[in-house]
């Protein structure tokens, strides 16, 4: 069975947590597409060459979840040649046999506009900054400023800006715990599965 779940949203909205849980529940493969961009960003050197030469080892680095890696990902994600280099990999992954869940910024709008389920996970900038601060620490005001800066860059880039697909279901996690958000996402996928 080929079945794609596209989960988009801004940083720290909960899309990774939800995506991993949905993939585990249905036995689908999972791809955090942000990890591709994080790996390109932290690899250094020419971003286009880094994207074209991305290896499984690059995706296994333990520094991909840092705030610096997230900022680097956002900077390289605005480069059209980087996006093009990673596009086909993501599309092949999405249409693999056995189902797939992809989370990122442009899965439902650009990578997999034909996805059977599209979910846009969001939360207020303040809630997302607090979550990120709990994860990485540091100065809370600086983390909020960085979240807002990243939102601006992601939403206003010329190539594949962050926005919900027209047919995406909006899931605001500002006042939802992880369990409740996951339950809503699972119910949505369950309702769209064939048979």
Q: Which residues pair with 8 in a beta bridge?
A: 104, 120
- Distance between CA atoms of 89 and 93, rounded to whole angstroms? 6
């506009």: which residue's tokens? Answer: 113
Q: Which DSSP symbol is given to 124? A: -
Binding site for ATP: which residues? 9-17
Q: Rg of the Cα trace of the chain?
A: 16
Six token digits for residue 87: 């596009």
CB-CB neighbours of 191 under 10 Å: 8
């791809």: which residue's tokens? Answer: 31
β-bridge pairing 4-8 and 100-104: parallel
Binding site: which residues? 9-17
Six token digits for residue 113: 């506009």
């Amino acid at each position: 069975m080929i079945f794609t779940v596209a989960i988009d949203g801004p940083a720290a909205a909960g899309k990774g947590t939800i995506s991993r849980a949905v993939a585990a529940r249905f036995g689908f493969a999972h791809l955090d597409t942000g990890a591709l961009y994080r790996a390109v960003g932290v690899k250094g050197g020419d971003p286009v060459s880094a994207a074209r030469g991305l290896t499984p080892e690059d995706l296994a680095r333990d520094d991909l979840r840092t705030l610096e890696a997230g900022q680097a990902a956002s900077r390289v994600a605005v480069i059209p040649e980087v996006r093009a280099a990673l596009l086909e990999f993501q599309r092949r992954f999405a249409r693999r046999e056995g189902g797939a869940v992809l989370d990122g910024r442009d899965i439902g709008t650009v990578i997999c506009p034909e996805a059977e389920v599209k979910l846009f996970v969001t939360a207020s900038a303040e809630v997302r900054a607090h979550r990120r601060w709990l994860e990485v620490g540091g100065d809370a005001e600086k983390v909020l400023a960085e979240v807002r800066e990243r939102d601006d860059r992601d939403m206003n880039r010329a190539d594949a800006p962050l926005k919900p697909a027209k047919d995406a279901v909006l899931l605001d996690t500002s006042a939802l715990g992880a369990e409740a958000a996951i339950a809503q996402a699972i119910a949505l996928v369950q309702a769209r599965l064939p048979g």
